[in-house]
Amino acid sequence: MIKVALSIISLSVLIACAKHPDEILAARVEMTTINNLDCAALASRQTSQRLKLAEEEQLQKVYWALDIALPFPPTGSVHNRDVQIGQLKGELQALREASANKGCS
The per-residue pLDDT for 68 is 63
- Tens digits of per-residue pLDDT, 27-64? 888 888 899 999 999 999 999 999 999 999 888 888 77
| DSSP string across the chain | -HHHHHHHHHHHHHHHPPPPGGGPPPPP---HHHHTS-HHHHHHHHHHHHHHHHHHHHHHHHHHHHHHH-SS---TTHHHHHHHHHHHHHHHHHHHHHHHHHT--
pLDDT above 90: residue 99? yes
Q: What is the mean pLDDT of the chain?
A: 78
* pLDDT for the residue 65: 74
